[in-house]
């Protein structure tokens, strides 16, 4: 049964890409449910979007790396009787590290947020999304999903999971009202860490980077057309094509050399 006021639920909405997506969805008069870590200014983001775009916004602060967190988001939505027609799994933790020297907690948080929270939120919300005439899941992957990146071992593998999970789920849900999409940007200047990482790679990284506002708009527009995979910028799509022609061992040596630069600035 279709419910009247529907909401786009966006994780990681207090900053970066998630905040950009929240602003764009607000500009399209979508009502919003914003999720982020506690004490990161989410109430302020909600207030500013509400004032500018006159949409209904509620927010919930939780640490998605905690075991009970995805279920607590779901319970909050159900208790408040919100109807969700768009789920944007954007929250994610990036970073660069020498794996053998890294704290086990470094890997754990990336697995918990990038993989576990995304998977469980999707599972919890499918029955809700199915109540809508038309609904959408947008998962935020990364161009790194298509490469095995030394020093970004857990991160790139977690994003490969996001792409594979999304593709498989899209086919399971064929014939249902739910369309599953994934967006895989390369660099996006969202915080001090991503600024430093983009700069570490020099001119070619600047060429492959996209502004948050452009990414947010395009990702939502592509999602609404039902497109599965959106890789921003022709140069990034070319990199994936090029990869098919470079022997794996050579590719890995090039990636090792390139991403060593990030270790030095991290
Ligand atoms: N920026 C890039 O170059 C780039 C490129 C490819 C893909 N991506 C992907 O895009 C997504 C957003 O990244 P971003 O660059 O916008 O990063 P960001 O500015 O650091 O934003 C990440 C968002 O996720 C939230 N988050 C992180 N850990 C969380 C946790 N434990 N519980 C709840 N929320 C948590 C953050 O909340 P708080 O603000 O409350 O900390 C923040 O709102 C990620 O999935 C990332 O992997 C980014």
- The residue ranges of every structural domain in the chain are 6-265
* Catalytic residue check, 136: no
Q: At what angle are helices 118-130 and 153-172 packed, to 10 degrees?
A: 20
Q: Is 43 in the pocket of ligand 1 (CB under 6 A)?
A: no
Q: Is 91 in the pocket of ligand 1 (CB under 6 A)?
A: yes
C-alpha dist (Å) from residue 203 to 26, 156, 200:
34, 22, 9
pLDDT of 1 reads: 43
pLDDT of 127 reads: 98
Q: Is 132 in the pocket of ligand 1 (CB under 6 A)?
A: no
Catalytic: which of 59, 155, 161, 230? 155
Read off the pLDDT of each residue in 15-43 and give the average, rounded to a whole number: 97
Task: Give the chain's mean pLDDT.
Answer: 95
121 or 198, which is more confident: 121
Poorest-pLDDT segment among 24-28, 39-43, 261-265: 261-265
Q: Is 185 in the pocket of ligand 1 (CB under 6 A)?
A: yes
Q: How confident is the model at residue 206 (pLDDT cuts 50, 70, 90)?
A: confident
Q: How confident is the model at residue 264 (pLDDT cuts 50, 70, 90)?
A: confident
C-alpha dist (Å) from residue 116 to 35, 120, 139, 225:
16, 6, 13, 27
pLDDT of 201 reads: 83
243 or 3, which is more confident: 243
With beta carbons less than 8 A apart as the criterion, state whether 30 and 55 touch: yes
Q: Is 118 in the pocket of ligand 1 (CB under 6 A)?
A: no
pLDDT of 195 reads: 83
| CATH architecture entry for 6-265 | 3-Layer(aba) Sandwich (3.40)
pLDDT of 191 reads: 84
pLDDT of 199 reads: 82
- pLDDT tens readout for residues 121-154: 999 999 999 999 999 999 999 999 999 999 999 9
Shortest-distance atom of ligand 1 to CA 155: 47
pLDDT of 2 reads: 44
Is the predicted pLDDT of residue 95 greater than 60, yes or no?
yes
Ligand 1 midpoint to CA 91 (Å): 5
Poorest-pLDDT segment among 50-64, 125-139, 191-205, 214-228: 191-205
How many Cβ atoms sit within 10 Å of the Cβ of residue 251? Answer: 15
Ligand 1 midpoint to CA 189 (Å): 11
pLDDT of 150 reads: 98
pLDDT of 3 reads: 47
Best of 60, 91, 163 for a ligand 1 pocket test (most atoms within 8 Å of beta carbon): 91
Q: How confident is the model at residue 104 (pLDDT cuts 50, 70, 90)?
A: very high
């Amino acid at each position: 049964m279709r419910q009247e006021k529907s909401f786009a639920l966006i994780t990681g909405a207090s900053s970066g890409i998630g905040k950009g997506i929240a602003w764009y969805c607000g500009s399209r008069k979508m009502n919003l449910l914003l999720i982020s870590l506690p004490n990161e200014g989410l109430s302020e983001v909600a207030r500013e979007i509400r004032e500018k775009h006159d949409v209904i916004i509620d927010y919930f602060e939780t640490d998605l790396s905690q075991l009970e967190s995805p279920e607590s988001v779901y319970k909050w939505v159900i208790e408040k009787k919100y109807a969700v027609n768009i789920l944007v799994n954007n929250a994610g933790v990036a970073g660069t590290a020498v794996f053998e020297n890294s704290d086990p907690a470094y890997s754990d948080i990336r697995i918990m947020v990038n993989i576990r929270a995304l998977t469980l939120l999707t599972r919890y919300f499918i029955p809700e999304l199915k109540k809508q005439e038309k609904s959408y899941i947008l998962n935020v992957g990364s161009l790194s999903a298509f490469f095995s990146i030394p020093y970004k071992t857990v991160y790139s593998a977690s994003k490969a999971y996001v792409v594979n999970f999304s593709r498989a789920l899209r086919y399971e849900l064929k014939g249902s009202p739910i369309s599953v999409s994934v967006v895989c940007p390369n660099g996006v200047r969202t915080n001090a860490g991503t600024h430093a990482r983009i700069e570490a790679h020099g001119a070619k990284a600047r060429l492959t980077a996209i502004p948050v506002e452009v990414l947010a708009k395009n990702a939502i527009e592509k999602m609404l057309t039902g497109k599965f995979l959106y890789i921003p910028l022709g140069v990034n799509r070319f990199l994936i094509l090029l990869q098919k022609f470079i022997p794996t061992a050579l590719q890995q040596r090039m990636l090792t050399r390139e991403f060593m630069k990030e270790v030095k600035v991290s």
